[in-house]
């Protein structure tokens, strides 16, 4: 096959990149080699536009065992246990085929976690759809939710937390990010770095088909009007086979026969073999005749670029082949030695006794292009709207409209489609600020949550970046967990656009500042660029997934009110910031102005104080204040607990909308037992923590004194109906 300009373009490579390939090879590549380069050099595998920015993120603290650079990050949780976790995007495939796209997204992230020797114990997801009025949205929502559930439920790992948002910016490009969390013994962690020459390279799992040929390149190209044509590349997930693969791998890992192991994710056999060889500073030889194929007459090109799911590559210690094969036979899975490690640092592929590709490993990895793309700053938007004069707006109606809107409605419709209880260690299912998963057979737990806020990030990326880290941190604190580390999925538009690149660079600056201040490092993550269509980019949407430790899970608290007659305190100062708020968006249809400011000092003080109160058993329930403001958070504490609250307007209140809908950061609502109130007040004073007593819990009624009162059952109905009616 002739390598024309068109062929090069179809492979997502620029002419300059092609020239570089020829330089590195000192000759023209053949089409197989070109395919391999295109897979390794695309944005998804090479991080060519993002690397220089990602390097800025803090990646260490005293709990971190493994930061970015492996299949997933790892933190120490004591007692010889460690938690492995990572988040990854499957945006483009999910837009094309929502069920399979979302399902294979879950499958992929699970492999990243069990590859490291961990048994997955929880799944999370962050999903973003276009506006509900968009005709595609309903199908996409249904497909994605059942795909996520279909995979997780079948394999038997509880899906315990997530977030679902609607915004017109995702009309033509939805976001599906999946996060997996696993548990491993600290001394039983497996890595992808190859070691030793002449070791067997083994292919295990499903057979290779023509699935998703060039999926990784697809994930790095914008949609355009003929994205229809790209459709056949969608992969079909087989959670049943993944379950077998997971059990077989974990069984093999009990023994000492694995040198290194790597899942075949994006760019399949190509990226897994190159990554293992590159990390081990050696080469690899593969005999493609041996690759188990599902279809007849598959070409080397197809085998190397197939993205068939549920496959792994393993490098074995000498002489362990038979023992290992027995385990895979038991689970009815393919197990084939397809090659070996070699001293020459090359990827050498053989097919029908010919050498069909011969590429220096470095050319595919460390020599891949890296770009310092141009970017522009986003100025802090001015405060133009005047929110002082809202006389015509009815407070109660606005409040009810917000809690019955797509974005703020109860998500039961979704979470009931996920098995949240399998494995029997789910102490807190989704619905609270974070989920709590017990460490099996131990009196210890972790809290996990994912967060994003695209409106804030769009308005001002540095502040937005800080804000999501803080919000995620707050969510873990609210469950009584000490936040340890995060993973992040950075969903952005086209990086060749300077404004988008600027959003990316500045979001990272924001994330970095917050992570450093809170000692909350990044241990893994994923970048998804080219989200958008025909030059219209999505709002910058970084998603943060956090993990925290709970030492004594039996004292567990959540956001639900516990008793009648208790005081509810608002911790943190309210300024009444309405720009970019749910109120401004949903009620006034105003999307301008800056996001709420982040004050890291207050954030940390308030959070640590709340955590201390929880530790000392002085609070009954905790909820952070986020989108929708205080009134929405209070409503959430009522709904589900069936306990109401009588909210008192603070003295000197001049704008009820600003006070109750304002989205100022660093705030928590806490319920204090009557008998502990004095003690808590003293502590607040001693620690100089700003607070107000905002209400008293009561039976049945959710009430704002002097404004309105509504029955909890009624409120709950209003909050529940959106999904069921959509």
Partner 1 sequence: MKFSVTVTLKKDVLDPQGKVVQQTLQNMGMKTLKDLRQGKYFEVDINENDEKLAKDKVDEMCKKLLANLIIEDFKISKL
Partner 2 sequence: MNSSVIVFPGSNCDRDIAVALEKMQFKNKLVWHKDTNLPKSDLIVIPGGFSYGDYLRSGAIAAKSKIINEVIKAANEGCLVLGVCNGFQILIETGLLKGALLRNKNLKFINKDVSLKVNSINNKFCKKYKLGQIIKLNIAHNEGNYFTNKDHLKELEDNNLIAFKYCDEKGFINQNSNPNGSVNNIAGIFNKNKNILGMMPHPERMIEKSVSGDDGISLFSSLLN
Positions that interact with ligand ADP (CB under 6 A): 45, 54, 57, 68-71, 86, 88, 112, 265-266, 488, 490, 522, 524-527
| 239 part of the interface to partner 2, by CB under 8 A | yes
- For residue 598 the two structure tokens come to 């982040």
| Residues in Cβ contact with 119 at an 8 Å cutoff, skipping those fewer than 6 apart | 182, 183, 184, 246, 250
DSSP per-residue codes, 15-52? HHHHHHHHHHHTS---HHHHHHHHHHHSHHHH-TTTHH
- Least Å distance between CB 562 and Mg ion? 43
Site for partner 2 in 477-536 (CB under 8 A): none
| Residues in Cβ contact with 328 at an 8 Å cutoff, skipping those fewer than 6 apart | 204, 248, 252, 334, 335
How far is 474 from 197, CA to CA, in rounded Å?
49
Residue 90 falls in the annotated catalytic set = yes
| 312 part of the interface to partner 1, by CB under 8 A | no
Tell which one of 225, 226, 229, 332 touches partner 1 (CB under 8 A). 332
How far is 55 from 65, CA to CA, in rounded Å?
18
Tell which one of 273, 378, 405, 420 touches partner 2 (CB under 8 A). 420
Contact of 137 with 128, CB cutoff 8 Å: no
Give the three-class secondary structure for 268.
helix
Site for partner 2 in 553-612 (CB under 8 A): 553-554, 556
Which residues sit opposite 357 in a β-bridge? Answer: 349
The entry of partner 1, ligand ADP, Mg ion, none that residue 94 binds, CB within 5 to 8 Å by partner kind? none
How far is 549 from 445, CA to CA, in rounded Å?
6
Give the three-class secondary structure for 724.
helix
- Least Å distance between CB 172 and partner 1? 16
- For residue 461 the two structure tokens come to 């990326």
- Least Å distance between CB 243 and partner 2? 6
Angle at 721 between CA 715 and CA 725, to 5 degrees: 160
Site for partner 1 in 218-257 (CB under 8 A): 231-232, 234-238, 240-241
How far is 570 from 690, CA to CA, in rounded Å?
9
Contact of 483 with 75, CB cutoff 8 Å: no
| 302 part of the interface to partner 2, by CB under 8 A | no
Site for partner 2 in 303-362 (CB under 8 A): 330-332
Catalytic, out of 11, 44, 460, 691: 44
Dihedral of the CA atoms 618, 623, 629, 631 (nearest 10)? -70
Site for partner 2 in 138-157 (CB under 8 A): 146, 149-150, 153-156
| Helix (H), strand (E) at residue 137 | helix 137-155
Residue 44 falls in the annotated catalytic set = yes
| Residues in Cβ contact with 619 at an 8 Å cutoff, skipping those fewer than 6 apart | 557, 610, 613, 670, 671, 672, 680
- Least Å distance between CB 284 and Mg ion? 17
**Binding segment (CB under 8 A) for partner 1, from list 46-54, 75-83, 202-210, 457-465:** 202-210
Tell which one of 65, 427, 656, 683 touches partner 2 (CB under 8 A). 427
- Least Å distance between CB 444 and Mg ion? 28
Closer Cβ to partner 2, 426 or 475, answer by number: 426
- Least Å distance between CB 236 and partner 1? 4
The entry of Mg ion, partner 2, partner 1, none that residue 489 binds, CB within 5 to 8 Å by partner kind? none
**Binding segment (CB under 8 A) for partner 2, from list 94-102, 424-432, 576-584, 625-633:** 424-432
Residues binding partner 2: number (CB under 8 A): 33
The packing angle between helices 461-478 and 498-518, to 10°, is 40
How far is 622 from 433, CA to CA, in rounded Å?
9
- Least Å distance between CB 154 and partner 2? 4
The entry of partner 1, Mg ion, partner 2, none that residue 545 binds, CB within 5 to 8 Å by partner kind? none
Closer Cβ to partner 2, 156 or 565, answer by number: 156
- Least Å distance between CB 60 and ligand ADP? 12
How far is 68 from 445, CA to CA, in rounded Å?
24
Question: Quick one: DSSP state of residue 572?
Answer: S
Site for partner 2 in 541-560 (CB under 8 A): 553-554, 556
Site for partner 1 in 97-156 (CB under 8 A): 97, 99-100
Contact of 150 with 103, CB cutoff 8 Å: yes
| 422 part of the interface to partner 2, by CB under 8 A | yes
- Looking only at the bridges linking them, the beta strands covering 283-287 and 346-351 are parallel
Closer Cβ to Mg ion, 84 or 672, answer by number: 84
The entry of partner 1, ligand ADP, partner 2, none that residue 153 binds, CB within 5 to 8 Å by partner kind? partner 2
Closer Cβ to partner 1, 150 or 283, answer by number: 150
- Least Å distance between CB 637 and ligand ADP? 33
Q: List strand residue ranges (DSSP E) for 317-444, in order.
A: 334-342, 346-351, 354-360, 426-428, 435-438
Q: Which residues are catalytic?
A: 44, 90
Given the rule CB under 8 A, which residues bind partner 2?
Answer: 146, 149-150, 153-156, 238-241, 243-244, 330-332, 415-427, 438, 553-554, 556
Given the rule CB under 8 A, which residues bind partner 1?
Answer: 96-97, 99-100, 206, 209-211, 231-232, 234-238, 240-241, 294-295, 308, 332
């Amino acid at each position: 096959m002739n390598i024309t300009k068109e062929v090069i373009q179809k492979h997502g490579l620029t002419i300059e990149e092609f020239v570089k390939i020829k330089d590195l090879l000192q000759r023209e590549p053949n089409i197989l080699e070109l395919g391999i380069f295109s897979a390794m050099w695309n944005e998804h595998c090479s991080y060519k536009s993002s690397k220089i920015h990602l390097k800025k993120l803090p990646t260490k603290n005293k709990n971190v065992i493994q930061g970015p650079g492996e299949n997933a990050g790892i933190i120490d949780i004591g007692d010889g246990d460690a938690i492995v976790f990572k988040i990854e995007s499957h945006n483009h495939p999910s837009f094309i085929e929502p069920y399979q796209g979302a399902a294979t997204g879950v499958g992929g992230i699970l492999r990243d976690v069990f590859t490291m020797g961990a048994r997955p114990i929880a799944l999370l997801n962050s999903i973003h759809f276009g506006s509900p009025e968009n005709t595609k949205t309903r199908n996409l929502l249904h497909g994605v939710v059942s795909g996520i559930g279909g995979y997780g439920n079948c394999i038997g790992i509880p899906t315990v937390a997530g977030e679902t948002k609607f915004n017109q910016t995702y009309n033509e490009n939805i976001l599906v990010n999946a996060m997996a969390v696993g548990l491993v013994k600290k001394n039983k962690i497996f890595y992808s770095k190859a070691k030793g020459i002449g070791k067997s390279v083994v292919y295990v799992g499903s057979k290779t088909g023509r699935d998703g040929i060039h999926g990784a390149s697809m994930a790095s190209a914008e949609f355009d009007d003929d994205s229809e044509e790209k459709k056949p590349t969608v992969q079909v997930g087989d959670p049943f086979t993944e379950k077998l693969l997971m059990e077989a791998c974990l069984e093999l890992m009990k023994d000492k026969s694995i040198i290194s192991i790597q899942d075949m994710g994006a760019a399949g056999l190509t990226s897994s073999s190159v990554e293992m060889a590159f990390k081990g500073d050696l080469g690899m030889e593969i005999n493609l005749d041996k690759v188990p194929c599902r279809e007849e007459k598959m070409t080397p090109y197809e085998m190397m670029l197939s993205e068939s799911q549920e496959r792994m590559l393993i490098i074995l210690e000498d002489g362990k082949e038979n023992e290992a094969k027995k385990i895979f036979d038991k689970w009815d899975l393919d197990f084939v030695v397809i090659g070996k490690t070699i001293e020459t640092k090359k990827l050498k592929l053989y097919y029908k006794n010919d050498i069909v590709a011969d590429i220096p490993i470095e050319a595919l990895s460390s020599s891949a292009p890296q770009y310092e793309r141009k970017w522009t700053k986003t100025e802090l938007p001015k405060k133009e709207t005047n929110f002082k004069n809202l006389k015509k707006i009815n407070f109660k109606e606005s409040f009810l409209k917000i809690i019955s809107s797509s974005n703020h409605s109860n998500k039961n419709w979704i979470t009931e489609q996920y098995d949240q209880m399998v494995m029997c260690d789910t102490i807190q299912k989704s619905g609270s600020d974070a989920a709590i998963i017990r460490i099996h057979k131990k009196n210890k737990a972790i809290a996990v949550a994912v967060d994003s806020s695209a409106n804030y990030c769009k308005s001002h990326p540095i502040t937005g970046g800080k804000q999501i880290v803080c919000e995620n941190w707050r969510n873990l604190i609210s469950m009584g967990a000490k936040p340890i580390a995060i993973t992040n999925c950075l969903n952005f538009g086209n990086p060749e656009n300077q404004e988008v690149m600027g959003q990316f660079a500045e979001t990272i600056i924001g994330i970095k500042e917050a992570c450093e201040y809170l000692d909350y490092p990044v241990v893994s993550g994923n970048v998804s660029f080219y989200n958008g269509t025909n030059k219209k980019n999505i709002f910058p949407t970084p998603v943060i997934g956090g993990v925290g430790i709970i030492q004594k899970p039996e004292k567990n608290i959540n956001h639900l009110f516990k008793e009648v007659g208790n005081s509810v305190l608002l911790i943190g100062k309210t300024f009444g910031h309405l720009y970019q708020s749910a109120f401004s968006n949903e009620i006034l249809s105003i999307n301008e102005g800056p996001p709420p400011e982040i004050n890291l000092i207050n954030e940390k003080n308030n959070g640590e104080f709340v955590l201390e109160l929880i530790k000392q058993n002085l609070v009954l329930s905790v909820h952070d204040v986020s989108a929708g403001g205080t009134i929405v958070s209070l409503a959430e504490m009522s709904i589900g607990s069936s306990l109401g609250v009588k909210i008192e307007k603070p003295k000197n209140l001049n704008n009820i909308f600003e006070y109750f809908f304002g989205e100022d950061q660093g705030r928590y609502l806490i319920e204090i037992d009557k008998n502990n109130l004095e003690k808590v007040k003293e502590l607040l004073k001693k620690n100089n923590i700003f607070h107000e007593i905002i209400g008293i819990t009561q039976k049945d009624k959710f009430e704002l004194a002097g404004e309105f009162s509504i029955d909890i059952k009624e409120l709950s109905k209003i909050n529940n109906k959106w999904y069921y009616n959509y």
